[in-house]
């Protein structure tokens, strides 16, 4: 018979082979392709395709390697995200396929033990609604909207426990494991070693072994980042997506650019199981889905033990002589430390200073490749300090004299986390709030400070144990941490959360501010949030809404409606990259014309990308806007389309439109 076979890492959907064996879809086989032998997955048996020079399947490796419903999920992904099945398999399967005999043995199923706190009234309602769907053994999708500190995790734990009692299994997706140590700890505390965790620190081999063990049903609970959504799990009953609004669910670098949250919901539908999406700041599209009946809304409107939300104060820094840490912020830091409480300071910019300029001629140090300002990174050893491009990582030496006019002494302007760290330490010394000279009360959490392995855990532990009193950092500090002694959150400059031209920027600002403010007052003592800004009017509205997502949602939805943007339409972004600037534009215009002929879609562009040049590549994009019922297959030709001398990237439901 003839079979259609999908092969990982290829740009096509499948090839057809013949075989004498009785193969079925989902079987793992080895097939010859271009003088090599590769793994492939049978996707159709009894293929009717006529192929000249058909080759023979070389070996059956494993029967039923991928279950049917997952194959259907992979096919859906290829169609929806305009990618080839080969590209989908590259992301869905382990980087190297493991043979069964390489597996580790593991005791199946540890007993579970529940020492759970009693759910409050609202948690109780959420749990019972999800349990109802679990018992009915049917597909259902819930949006668990719970304000920061309202106890979403306990709802997850209870539902997973219900699933385990009926011998089912659970999948929990998290933005990044290292960023959610607490969630993971609580799952382990409840379910012991019956939890498999896909860490970013696992080696490829460990990851493959775990993949296999999970597929064989050796763990009841699987926790992991976005790619975990593809793992076969027998008797899967529930998929939980924590912090569903988080951008790390989107695959940004490789095709297909899927969103694991949406893949999780589709998988639940195909497997007829329950999906729970949780967030304090749901994505507009998700909340909209509760209004049109796609998801059921579960509300947690109260913090645990009826703790109040923090009090928010906005500081107008236009008039301040000290713009980085205003006197008011400084005073509040002092009070908080004297009360022996902790502080989180947030600034969404790493490095010491965002630019180096010449006061004489106005020269700014820029990346020679990307033409964007270089960021000054200070090092304890002066010669190790450098300028770095945050887009392409180019490093440049620091000069003190302006290379353009040769007269001015270069000055750094603005502040990043490093500069604020220095400033905080200075304030603590002046006010005699530090105890020893060696140990700082300030710990910094940004991508530079956690580069070395294990650093992140150390920083979090130091702060958690109270050895450090101030946690200073970028967006990393907005993740779901739960420090009970934090009573002050200071936002150094609310205006630089976003500077990108995007229709989602209002939503993103709201999400970041809500999440960072939500770190305050999670223990017994009430919390405070200080927000420094050059545009106080703007933030008073945002923070007015902060206590009230529904109000924010209504206003934001109105804007989207006027612009005819998602959730009312669907966007598809086509990006072209190449070294020859003229050629990139030429190719983009060609695609624009092809798309225009299709009709029933609005095509915008080609436009320069916000980052027009990264390293050697010029970047140009086109936006396709379609109604939600637009047939995707009309665009499938793009999957195999090869522009000359440049690469093409297709992003369905893009998060960034620039
Ligand atoms: Zn100069
Ligand atoms: Zn650069």
pLDDT tier for residue 98 given thresholds of 50, 70 and 90: low
CB-based contact 274:140 (threshold 8 Å) = yes
Asked if 199 and 207 count as a contact pair (C-beta separation under 8 A), the reply is no
Evaluate if residue 168 carries a pLDDT over 90: yes
In a domain, 82, yes or no: no
- Residue 342 shares a structural domain with residue 491: yes
Check residue 229 and give its pLDDT.
Answer: 97
User: For residue 616, how far is its CA from the centre of ligand 2 (angstroms)?
Assistant: 9
Q: Which ligand is nearest to the CA of 370?
A: 2
Based on the domain organization, do 535 and 647 belong to the same domain?
A: no
Q: Are residues 548 and 587 located together in one domain of the fold?
A: no
269 and 408 in a single domain? The answer is no
Look-up of token digits 């027009």: 612
**For residue 366, which ligand has an atom nearest its CA?**
2
Highest mean predicted confidence (pLDDT) among 422-436, 515-529, 607-621: 607-621
What are the tens digits of pLDDT across the range 537-582? 776 666 665 667 888 898 889 989 998 999 999 999 999 999 999 9
Residues 338 and 363 in one domain: no
- Do 404 and 482 belong to one domain? no
Q: Torsions phi, psi of 362, nearest 5? A: 85, 5
Residue 104: how many CB atoms within 10 A of its CB? 10
The answer to whether residue 320 is domain-embedded is yes
> In angstroms, how far apart are the furthest CA atoms of the chain?
83
Among 507, 542, 560, where does a domain finish? Answer: 560
- Residue 111: pLDDT band (50, 70, 90) is low
CA angle 190, 194, 160 (to 5 degrees): 55
Q: Please tell me the distance between residue 364's alpha carbon and the centre of ligand 1 in angstroms.
A: 8
Domain membership flag for residue 648: yes
CA of 452 to the centre of ligand 2 (A): 23
Tell me, yes or no, whether 35 and 159 share the same domain.
no
Q: Which of 387, 414, 441 is the last residue of a domain?
A: 414
Q: Considering the domain boundaries, does residue 425 fall inside one?
A: yes
| Strand order across the beta sheet in which 274-279 lies | 195-197, 221-224, 169-173, 236-241, 274-279, 140-146, 296-300
Report the share of the chain in percent with pLDDT over 90: 57
Say how many C-beta atoms besides its own lie within 10 A of residue 450's C-beta: 19
CATH number of the domain residue 574 falls in: 3.30.70.600
Does 368 have pLDDT greater than 80? yes
pLDDT tens column, 129-145: 999 999 999 999 999 99
User: Residues 255-299: pLDDT tens digits?
Assistant: 999 999 999 999 999 999 999 999 989 999 999 999 999 999 999
Q: How many CB atoms sit inside 10 A of residue 581's CB? A: 13
Our measurement of the distance from residue 135's CA atom to the centroid of its chain's CA atoms, rounded to an integer in Å, reads 31
pLDDT of residue 437: 64
CB-neighbour burial class of residue 374 (10 A; exposed 0-12, middle 13-18, buried 19+): buried
Query: Of 361, 388, 414, which residue is a domain's last?
Result: 414
Which range marks the domain in which residue 551 is found?
Answer: 307-350+417-560
Residue 264, phi then psi, degrees to nearest 5: -60, -40
CB burial of residue 607 (10 Å; 0-12, 13-18, 19+):
middle
Question: How far, CA to CA in Å, does 626 sit from each of 120, 161, 507, 563, 646?
Answer: 44, 42, 22, 13, 26
- The bound ligand whose nearest atom lies closest to the alpha carbon of 396 is 2
Question: Average pLDDT, stretch 54-73?
Answer: 94
Instruction: Decide if 85 is inside a domain.
Output: no
Would you say residue 495 has pLDDT above 60? yes
Would you state the structure tokens that stand for residue 86, as one six-digit string?
């080969």
The per-residue pLDDT of the chain, averaged, comes to 89
Ligand 1 center from residue 529 Cα (angstroms):
41
Residue pair 205/139 in contact by the 8 Å Cβ criterion: no
State the Cα–Cα distance between residues 500 and 503, nearest whole angstrom.
9
Domain tally for the chain?
Answer: 5
pLDDT of residue 101: 52
32 domain residue, yes or no: yes
Examine the pLDDT at 166 and tell me if it is beyond 70: yes
- What counts of helices (H) and strands (E) characterise the chain? 15, 28
pTM: 0.90
pLDDT at 444: 95
Residue 461 half-sphere exposure toward CB, CA atoms < 13 A? 6
Confidence at residue 543, expressed as pLDDT on a 0 to 100 scale: 64
Asked which of 280-284, 408-412, 436-440, 630-634 is least confident by mean pLDDT, the reply is 436-440
Which listed ligand is nearest to 617 at the C-alpha? 2
Note the ligand closest to the C-alpha atom of 393: 2
In a domain, 292, yes or no: yes
387 and 240 belong to one structural domain: no
Same domain for 131 and 273, yes or no, is yes
* Cα 472 to Cα 467: distance, rounded to the nearest angstrom: 14
Do 406 and 431 lie in one domain? The reply is no
pLDDT of residue 103: 58
CA of 323 to the centre of ligand 1 (A): 26
Above 60 in pLDDT, residue 110? no
CA of 389 to the centre of ligand 1 (A): 20
- Looking at all shown ligands, the one closest to residue 409's CA atom is 1
Q: Give the tokens for residue 364.
A: 């700014």
Q: Would you give the DSSP letter of residue 532?
A: E
pLDDT of residue 23: 95
**Stretch 586-598: mean pLDDT:** 93
Ligand closest to the CA atom of residue 359: 1
525: domain CATH number is 3.40.50.300
| pLDDT score recorded for residue 485 | 92
Asked, for residue 80, whether it belongs to a domain, the answer is no
pLDDT at 185: 84
The model's confidence at residue 151, banded by pLDDT at 50, 70 and 90, is: confident
State whether 270 and 314 are in the same domain. no
Going by the DSSP 8-state scheme, the letter that residue 313 receives in this structure is: E
Residue 114 has pLDDT above 80, yes or no: no
How would residue 112 be classed by pLDDT, with cut points 50, 70 and 90?
Answer: low
Asked if residue 629 and residue 486 are part of one domain, the reply reads no
* Distance from Cα 360 to the centre of ligand 2, integer Å: 25
Alpha-carbon radius of gyration of the chain = 27
The span from the CA of 259 to the CA of 48, in Å, is: 34
- pLDDT tens digits along 327-351: 999 999 999 999 999 999 999 899 9
Does residue 376 contact residue 356 with C-beta atoms inside 8 Å?
yes
């Amino acid at each position: 018979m003839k079979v259609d076979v999908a092969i990982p890492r290829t740009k096509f959907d499948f090839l057809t082979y013949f075989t004498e064996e009785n193969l079925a879809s989902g079987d793992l086989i080895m097939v010859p392709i271009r003088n090599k032998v590769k793994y492939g997955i049978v996707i159709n048996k009894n293929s009717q395709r006529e192929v000249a020079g058909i080759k023979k399947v070389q070996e059956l490796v494993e029967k039923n390697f991928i279950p049917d419903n997952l194959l259907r999920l992979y096919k859906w992904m290829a169609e929806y995200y305009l990618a080839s099945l080969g590209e989908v398999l590259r992301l869905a399967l382990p980087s190297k396929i493991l043979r069964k005999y390489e597996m580790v043995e593991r005791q199946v199923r540890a007993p579970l033990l529940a020492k759970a706190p009693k759910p409050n009234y609202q948690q109780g309602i959420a749990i019972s609604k999800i349990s109802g769907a679990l018992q009915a053994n049917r597909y259902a999708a819930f949006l668990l909207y719970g304000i920061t500190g309202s106890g979403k995790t306990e709802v997850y734990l209870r539902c997973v426990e219900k699933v385990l009692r009926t011998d089912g299994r659970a999948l929990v997706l998290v933005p990044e494991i290292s960023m959610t140590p607490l969630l993971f700890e609580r799952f382990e505390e409840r379910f012991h070693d019956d939890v498999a965790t896909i860490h970013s620190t696992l080696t490829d081999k460990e990851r493959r072994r775990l993949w296999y063990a999970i597929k064989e049903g050796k763990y009841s609970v699987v926790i992991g980042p976005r790619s975990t959504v593809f793992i076969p799990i027998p008797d899967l009953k529930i998929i939980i997506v924590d912090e569903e609004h988080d951008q790390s669910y989107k695959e940004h670098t490789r095709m297909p650019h899927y969103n694991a949250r949406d893949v999780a919901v589709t998988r639940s539908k195909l497997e007829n199981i329950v999906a729970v999406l949780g967030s304090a700041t749901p994505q507009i599209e998700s909340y909209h889905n509760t209004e049109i009946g796609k998801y059921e809304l579960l509300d947690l409107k109260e913090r645990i033990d009826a703790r109040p939300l923090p009090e928010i104060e906005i500081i107008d820094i236009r008039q301040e002589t000290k713009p980085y840490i205003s006197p008011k912020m400084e005073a509040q830091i002092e009070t908080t430390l004297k009360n022996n409480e902790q502080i989180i300071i947030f600034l969404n910019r790493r490095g010491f200073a965002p630019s180096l300029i010449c006061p004489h001629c106005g020269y700014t140090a820029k990346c020679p490749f990307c033409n964007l300002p270089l960021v000054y990174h200070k090092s304890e050893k002066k010669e190790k300090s450098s300028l770095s491009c945050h887009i392409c990582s180019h490093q440049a030496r620091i000069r003190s004299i302006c290379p353009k006019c040769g007269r001015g002494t270069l000055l750094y302007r603005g502040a990043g986390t490093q500069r604020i760290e220095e400033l905080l330490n200075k304030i603590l010394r002046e006010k005699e709030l530090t105890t020893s000279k060696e140990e700082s009360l300030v710990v910094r959490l940004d991508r530079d400070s956690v580069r070395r392995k294990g650093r992140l855990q150390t920083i979090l532990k130091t702060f958690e144990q109270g050895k450090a009193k101030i946690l200073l950092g970028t967006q990393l500090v907005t993740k779901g941490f739960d420090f009970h002694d934090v009573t002050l959150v200071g936002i150094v400059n609310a205006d630089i959360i976003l500077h990108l031209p995007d229709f989602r920027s209002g939503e993103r600002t709201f999400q970041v501010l809500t999440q960072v403010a939500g770190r305050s007052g999670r223990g017994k003592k009430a919390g405070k949030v200080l927000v420094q800004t050059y545009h106080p009017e703007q933030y008073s509205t945002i923070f007015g809404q902060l206590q009230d997502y529904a109000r924010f949602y209504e206003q934001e939805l109105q804007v989207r409606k006027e612009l005819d943007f998602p959730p009312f339409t669907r966007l598809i972004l086509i990006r072209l990259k190449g070294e020859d600037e003229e050629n990139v534009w030429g190719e983009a215009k060609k695609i624009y014309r092809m798309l225009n002929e299709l009709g029933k879609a609005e095509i915008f562009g080609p436009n320069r990308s916000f980052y027009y040049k990264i390293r050697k590549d010029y970047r140009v994009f086109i936006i396709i806007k379609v109604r939600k019922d637009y047939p995707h297959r009309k665009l499938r030709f793009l999957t195999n389309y090869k522009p000359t001398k440049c690469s093409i990237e297709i992003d369905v439901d893009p998060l960034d439109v620039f």
